[in-house]
Amino acid sequence: MSVFCLVHGSTQNASGWDLLAAALGQQPIRVALPTDQPDASATVYARAIADAIPSGVDHAVVVAHSASGMFLPLVPQLRKIGRMVFLAAVIPEPGKSLLERIKADSSILNPEWIGKDPTRDDDAARKFLLHDCSPEVTAWAMTTRQLLFAKGAMIEPCPLAGWPDVPSTYIVCAGDRTIRPEWSRRAARSILGVEPVELPGGHCPHVSRPAELARILTGLAKSPCSTLSVPIG
């Protein structure tokens, strides 16, 4: 059976993966990143991910949502994994900080999203993260909110010396209101060297369309290649 390791982003805790876990039909590894260490380096978060994977498992599909894309490429330096999946996520560049890249490239983030804290602002959560969810799912998702302010990881230059030799996939959400889909597509091609897999809907497909996302991830787990085209519809 495939082993999935799910890493939450900056606005949800690990329970935000519950609907996807049910759709996968198994209990994946759900990493709880430290939320009380704002000055920690990206390597600290990567270590938390690596340590969550049981010893003897060297083929895990590690799925990083949103801000946790900063940490994902550091994991293979700490332990062997099978695949990196960037889910509507930022992608780091060796030697550059995420903050300086955002300041230099206005196409990365939706400007309306910058400065919002959807863990405290219900309207922002509904508008930017959960706009494509049913009222029932939205009500549940609101209970999973938790702020991860990884300031230290954002301001430090990415410590990667080079890109890890691990198959990579980028899943772009066509209706994302936080990370701009146009940037995601370009970054997948220019940084990862892959064609992105497309999903309709917003920034949190593990909440809004878990069955479709589970189908993509299950297909990826069976594919030895670094890219996979999955029809949606």
CB neighbour list of residue 186: distance below 8 Å, 6 or more residues apart: none
Q: Which two tokens stand for residue 213?
A: 């996302």
Q: What is the model's pLDDT at position 2? A: 87
Q: What is the pTM of this model?
A: 0.95
Q: Kindly list the structural domains of the chain, giving each domain's residue range(s) and its CATH number in brackets, ordered by start.
A: 4-222 (3.40.50.1820)
At 53, is the pLDDT very low, low, confident or very high (cuts 50, 70, 90)?
Answer: very high
- Of the listed ranges 9-13, 171-175, 200-204, 226-230, the least confidently predicted one is 226-230
Q: What is the model's pLDDT at position 222? A: 85
Q: What is the model's pLDDT at position 223? A: 75
228, pLDDT greater than 70: no
103, pLDDT greater than 70: yes
93, pLDDT greater than 70: yes
At 224, is the pLDDT very low, low, confident or very high (cuts 50, 70, 90)?
Answer: low
Task: Convert the pLDDT of each residue in 128-158 to its tens digit.
Answer: 999 999 999 999 999 999 999 999 999 999 9
Write out the DSSP string of the chain.
---EEEE--SSB-GGGGHHHHHHHTS--EEE---SS-TT--HHHHHHHHHHHSPTT----EEEEEGGGGGTGGGGGGTS--SEEEEES-----BT--HHHHHHH-TTSB-TTTTT--TTT-HHHIIIIISTTS-HHHHHHHHTTB-----HHHHHSPB--SS--SS-EEEEEETT-SSB-HHHHHHHIIIII-SPPEEE-S-S-HHHH-HHHHHHHHHHHHH--SS-------
Task: Output the average pLDDT for the chain.
Answer: 94
Strand partners, 168: 84
233, pLDDT greater than 50: no
Task: Convert the pLDDT of each residue in 13-36 to its tens digit.
Answer: 999 999 999 999 999 999 999 999
Q: What is the model's pLDDT at position 230? A: 34
Separation of alpha carbons 189 and 170, rounded Å: 9
Q: What is the model's pLDDT at position 225? A: 53
- Of the listed ranges 1-5, 19-23, 115-119, 209-213, the least confidently predicted one is 1-5
